[in-house]
Amino acid sequence: MATINTTGIFPSTSFIATNGSGDLQEVVSSVATNGSVTHDGLTFTAVGAGELANVPTITIEESATATGVEFTASGSDITMSVQSTDSIPATFDELVSDGITYRAETAGDSGILVTINESQGADAMAFSAGVLTIDLDDVVGNKTQGDIADLYALADLSVKDSIELTITDHVTALTAALNAEPLISGTDEIPAVTIGSYTQGQVETAFAGAPSEVTAIASLSIADAGTNLQTVKAQTSFNGSDAVAGNLDADSDYILIKRTDLHDLESGEQNDGRKFMWGLIHKAESVFAALPDKPVNFTISKTNPVTADQGTSLSQAYSVKVKYGIQNLDLKVES
């Protein structure tokens, strides 16, 4: 059976429906886009546009083995590793002399000094201006660790709030005086290093020196160099999109006719070229026939149906007659 599609007659034909609001539901053209991932002010954009065969990904992680911020690539997968370390607790200044441990009550570098003066008028212990001063009423060799512990027990809060004093035993004699000996080895706490320790600017600098296999996959832009990062990010794909060709040609005029305006053209028959042309001609003839003032340079008429094919079908003829202007073969204007 010979058939012809409507698109075979009118190649630019588009079969488009409207939604419940009467808006056309055509496919709108769009250009290919470069996939991107944005996290904590960092935007990684794929170098290649569209839906790439090897979809790029980005992973942002903390790593104990990284140095600062590092970028690596495996295939089309980028990993951004930032150095992370645990916090290191503070330590306390100490001085150990003659079995006595003098320990600062506050962590870090206390700057405390210890002085033991022998053969003073009386036994005493005092703390002032960062110096613990111990006065003995006899020579050092005649004093024991217990004597110093007893002085500490009787000392005021200025001493005890500054220094903790412990001994190994009470009876061991002292051997040496002290002349402004410092408490040493105290350190401040070293905070943990996490992803929040790094700024967008540091990441940008690291990316500028990233291996070529990384920069061949993606570029990086940042929102604010001074803003710190917040969190790690699990592996995430760059979601690019391919270019989309629209239903309609660019810079073109279209004639939109509702299907039901054509005679007896049912849903699903739009691309039946025979039904389309019959519906168009039949509808046009019926409209022309009803005009009180009919065109004379374009006329269309039809015969009454008659039997054909030995009575198995009906036949009807349509006649179209046109008049052209003398100068060209364009339809002559109605006068």
Residues with Cβ < 8 Å from 166, sequence gap 6 or more?
Answer: 100, 101, 103
- On the 0-12 / 13-18 / 19+ scale of CB atoms within 10 A, 314 is exposed
The answer to whether 214 touches 71, Cβ cutoff 8 Å, is: yes
Q: What pLDDT does residue 152 have?
A: 97
For residue 282 the two structure tokens come to 């039949």
**C-alpha closest to that of 195 among 304, 64, 16, 296:** 64
Alpha-carbon distance 102 to 96, whole Å? Answer: 6
pLDDT in tens, the chain (335 residues): 567 787 777 777 877 787 887 777 777 888 888 999 999 999 999 998 887 777 899 999 999 999 999 999 999 999 999 999 999 999 999 999 999 999 999 999 999 999 999 999 999 999 999 999 999 999 999 999 999 999 999 999 999 999 999 999 999 999 999 999 999 999 999 999 999 999 999 999 999 999 999 999 999 999 999 999 999 999 999 988 888 888 788 888 888 888 998 899 999 998 998 999 999 999 989 988 899 999 999 999 999 999 999 999 999 999 999 999 888 888 898 88
C-alpha dihedral over 285, 287, 291, 293, to 10 degrees?
-60
Secondary element (H or E) of residue 159: helix 157-160
